[in-house]
Structure formats: C-alpha cells, structure tokens
C-alpha cells in the first residue's frame, strides 16, 4: 500500500466530519494545465480551497482552463489568490490591470480611484475564474522600521486606512468576489517580518490599530486573515493565528465578525520554526480559525496538516463542534462566491484608474516637480524582491527608457559586492548628463544610503527619487514600486507628465 493510500484512510471518522475537516484547508500546488493526483484526492474529500501563485500562471487563457478544471472536480471549491495590486500580485502574465499599491492610493486619497482600482482587479479575477482575493491589507504602517507592511498599507493613519478599506471592500463585493482584510489584528507595529521569524507588537491594547478591522467588519468583509504576530497586551504566549483570546474572544466576541477567518500561510517561519505546520493547523483551528493556508506546492505538507487535524478530532483534542462550525462558515462562503459568471459576461473595468492614481500620488509628494531631464543616467537602488510577495522586480530605468531612448543607467537589486565600483561606474556613465538616483526604503537597507551619499558627494546636482516610503531629500516619490508607480515617475523625469 502506498504512503498516500495509507494516509488517505486516516482515523475512523464519520464521512461528514472528514469532509468538514477538509473544508478547513486551503492548498497550494504546482501545475498550470493539470492538477496533481494528490490534490484531486483532497478535493474529492472536500478540500475547501486552493491558492494560486505565479507558478500556476502562464497566460489568461491557461488560467481560465485551470480554474475550470478545478471546478469540474468540485464546483464549490474556492479558488483564491493574493491580489493586492502594485508590485504585489501573481497575474502579470495573465494581463493583470496595472494599479498602484495601497500606499499610493492613500496618498491620492480619492475613494473613487481606490474603488476603481479594486473593481479592475476584481473584474480581472472573475474573467479568469478566480473568486476569492486575499486583499486588501488592513494594516496600519505604524513603525518606520517595519520591514513587511510599508507601501502595502493605505497609510499610517487608521482613519485613512479605514475609509479606503471600505471603498475597496464595497467595490470588490459589487463584483461578486470575496475580499479578505489582513492581517488581524495588525502587522504594522512590528519590526520583524513573520515570513522569516516570530514578530511581536509590544504596544498596549489602547495603542493597537484595530480601527481598520472594525471598519472592515462593519463593511461586511466576508473574510479576514490572521497575523503570525504576538501581542503581549492580548496574549503573551501565542501569535494571533494560534490565540483563542485574539481570534475567538476579540474578533468574534468584541468585533462581531461572522465571516470566514483564514490563517496566513502556515509555512511562514513564525509558525513553522516554532510549532511546525501540522501543529499550527491544529492549533489555529482550535483557536478559532475556519481555514488554514498551506501555500507551498509540496502537498506532503498539506497532507501532514490534514492528518494532524483528523487525528486531533479522533482523539478529542480538537472538538468536533469547532470544526463543523468552521466548515459551515466555509460552506456558506462557497455558496456565495465559489462559482464565477461566464468570462464573456464579466463587465469591463476601467484600465485608466490605476495610472491616474499613480500620477496623483507622485504629484502629492510635497516638493515642486522637476523639469524634464533628457538623456539622464538613472541609478535605481532597491532590495531584492521578497520571494513570498512575488514583486516582479520592475525598475525605473525601463520606465524612463520607454519615453527617452537616450537614457542610460543601471538597476541595482540587492547589496552589491563592491559599492565603490558601482559608484565609480555610475559617475563615469553620468558624466555630462543629468543623474537620477532612486532609493527604496534606504533606512532599512544601509547599502543604498552608502551608494546614494557617495554619488551625491561628487554630483550634488543629482535628482533624488524615493520609490518606497518618502525619504528625506527626495524630489519625487513614487510611493510604491509597481510598474504603474514607476511609469508615473518616468513621465515626470522625461517631461511626459500630463
């Protein structure tokens, strides 16, 4: 008997309870045109959802075929994806609408533009057969040192974040796509990234950024995602994803959330290194989560999480009523969102809302716009793309050269081995021509500051651009590194601004 067949038998549980346990799982997988046999078996047992990533995307037609195959296997399967906009997305190859990240939308502060961008993303998802979006980000960027939220947030003011959340959720809901506010009860007050290690928010209860989540609940958001963050003021012993005090008492009891509560990915180091994914799945469901995400394509990890839940049910460690309650919430969500309309019936969306918002954000950077800089040499400094967020590594030089073929420059992604050599090469290439130096969150990445300062020491006339959060001395700020953000800056640098 094969290992999978042996596992598939599992504990001797009633069929309805076995199906309920499977509904509480969301699985990642490999494949663009076929579904792995292991995933087919999980779906047959009642798997609640799948999450797609760039690895599952080749083009729009292929994605539509893949989602149709998945729903042929189970019509009520939720097909979800991270779809925040800006540089955070997995559907570039499938023709995703170009919209700026949330921070730029907050800077533009036009709720019609935010709704237009959310509508475009949701309409595109429907055209591909995807009906659940793990967005928007409800976190408030509260700490300058925060390494993971930053321009993914609408801003640093809870009220501003709240009103843009409401606009985003309403527009997504109007399309019939399930939105998901994340990461409860907030990831913006940490100085670590829970993808890499356990994060802690040390603030007292009255300083936590709960207002946007209250706004999301009041707006009827159908899903919330938990944070792998410890909040000593709420529960000093466990991260939110595993805390009954935070998930059940605070979110369900005090905030009154009745929708589906989904965990952030269990393979993130904050859970995997301290508890293990399998124990994390069991503990998260016991704490009050309704679904747990296993985003890695290794389905053995998903099976281990599933088995931990089944054995905890069989032993009584995980109460049956907790899992059946969770599965019922997932079932109701699926009834409402799982089946998309036919692609040809999806109404068109506004392709211009994103560029309008990105342009508006650049113009609100606080400094007078510079004149055109023809033939500029552009030095674009930015950190390596985050592997979990799948930012595509877009660079400013490409955007500038789209309007000015005489422009030159280099994109420096991650710390160079020889900073002096990079500086010397840039100064030689920029001799006799305008110099543009762009940084992205240089405060978090000191090497960028060293390159910038060395260039300015010789070329104090260089124009400084910020492509992350605003930085001192920047003449322009993109407020994000999405392609449309960088295009809006390129338009200014080349005199194409409208």
Active site positions, annotated: 195, 264
267 SS3 class: coil
E strand segments, 30-144? 49-52, 78-81, 132-133
The Cα–Cα gap between 187 and 190 comes to: 6
Give the gyration radius of the chain's Cα atoms. 23
The Cα–Cα gap between 475 and 172 comes to: 35
- List, edge to edge, every strand of the sheet that includes 463-466: 408-413, 377-382, 435-439, 463-466, 476-477
The Cα–Cα gap between 186 and 219 comes to: 18
CB 459 within 8 A of CB 435: yes
Instruction: Classify residue 88 by its DSSP letter.
Output: B
The Cα–Cα gap between 226 and 222 comes to: 14
Phi, psi of 4 (to 5 degrees): -65, -45
Residue-by-residue DSSP string for 90-121:
S-GGGT------HHHHHHHT-HHHHHHHHHHH
CB 100 within 8 A of CB 482: yes
CB 100 within 8 A of CB 112: no
The Cα–Cα gap between 45 and 305 comes to: 14
How many other C-beta atoms are found inside a 10 Å radius of the C-beta of residue 195?
A: 19
CB 274 within 8 A of CB 244: no
C-alpha distances out from residue 142 to 56, 161, 212, 259, 288, Å:
34, 12, 13, 27, 27
Alpha helices in 364-470 (DSSP H): 396-401, 419-429, 446-458
15 SS3 class: helix
Alpha helices in 223-287 (DSSP H): 244, 269-272, 277-287
Question: What token pair was written down for 78?
Answer: 């939720």
């Amino acid at each position: 008997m094969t290992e999978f067949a042996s596992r598939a038998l599992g504990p001797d549980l009633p069929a309805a309870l076995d199906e309920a346990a499977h509904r509480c799982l969301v699985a990642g997988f490999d494949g663009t045109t076929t579904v792995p046999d292991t995933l087919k078996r999980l779906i047959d047992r009642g798997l609640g959802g799948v999450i797609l990533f760039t690895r599952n995307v080749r083009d729009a037609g292929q994605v539509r075929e893949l989602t149709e195959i998945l729903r042929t296997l189970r019509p009520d399967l939720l097909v979800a994806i991270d779809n925040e906009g800006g540089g955070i997305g997995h559907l570039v190859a499938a023709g995703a609408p170009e919209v700026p990240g949330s921070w730029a939308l907050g800077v533009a502060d036009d709720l019609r533009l935010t709704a237009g961008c959310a509508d475009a993303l949701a309409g595109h998802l429907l055209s591909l057969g995807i009906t659940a979006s793990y967005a928007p980000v409800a976190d408030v960027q509260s700490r300058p040192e925060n390494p993971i939220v930053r321009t993914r947030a609408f801003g640093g003011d809870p009220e501003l974040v709240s009103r843009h959340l409401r606009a985003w959720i309403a527009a997504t809901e109007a399309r019939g796509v399930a939105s998901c506010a994340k990461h409860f009860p907030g990831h913006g007050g940490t100085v670590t990234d829970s993808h890499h290690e356990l994060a802690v928010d040390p603030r007292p209860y009255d300083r936590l950024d709960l207002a946007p989540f209250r706004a999301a609940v009041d707006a009827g958001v159908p899903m919330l995602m938990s944070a792998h963050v410890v909040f000593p003021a709420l529960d000093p012993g466990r991260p939110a994803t595993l805390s009954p005090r935070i998930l059940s008492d605070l979110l369900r009891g005090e905030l009154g959330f009745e929708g589906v509560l989904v965990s952030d990915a269990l393979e993130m180091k904050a859970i995997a290194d301290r508890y293990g994914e399998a124990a994390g799945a069991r503990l998260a469901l016991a704490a009050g989560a309704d679904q747990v995400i296993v985003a890695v394509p290794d389905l053995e990890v998903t099976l281990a999480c599933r088995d931990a839940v089944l054995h905890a049910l069989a032993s009584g460690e995980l109460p049956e009523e907790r899992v059946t309650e969770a599965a019922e919430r997932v079932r109701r969500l699926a009834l409402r969102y799982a089946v998309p309309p036919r692609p040809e019936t999806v109404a068109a969306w506004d392709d211009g809302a994103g560029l309008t918002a990105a342009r508006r954000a650049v113009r609100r950077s606080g400094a007078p716009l510079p004149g055109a800089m023809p033939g500029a040499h552009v030095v674009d400094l930015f950190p390596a793309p985050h592997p979990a967020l799948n930012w595509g590594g877009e660079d400013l030089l490409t955007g500038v050269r789209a309007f000015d073929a005489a422009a030159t420059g280099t994109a420096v992604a991650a710390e160079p081995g020889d900073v002096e050599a990079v500086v010397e090469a840039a100064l030689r290439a920029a001799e006799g021509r305008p110099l543009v130096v762009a940084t992205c969150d240089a405060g978090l990445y000191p090497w960028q500051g060293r390159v910038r300062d060395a260039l300015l020491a010789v070329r104090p006339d260089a124009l400084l651009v910020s492509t992350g959060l605003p930085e001192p001395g920047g003449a322009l700020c993109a407020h994000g590194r999405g392609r449309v953000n960088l295009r809006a800056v390129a338009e200014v640098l080349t005199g194409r601004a409208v």
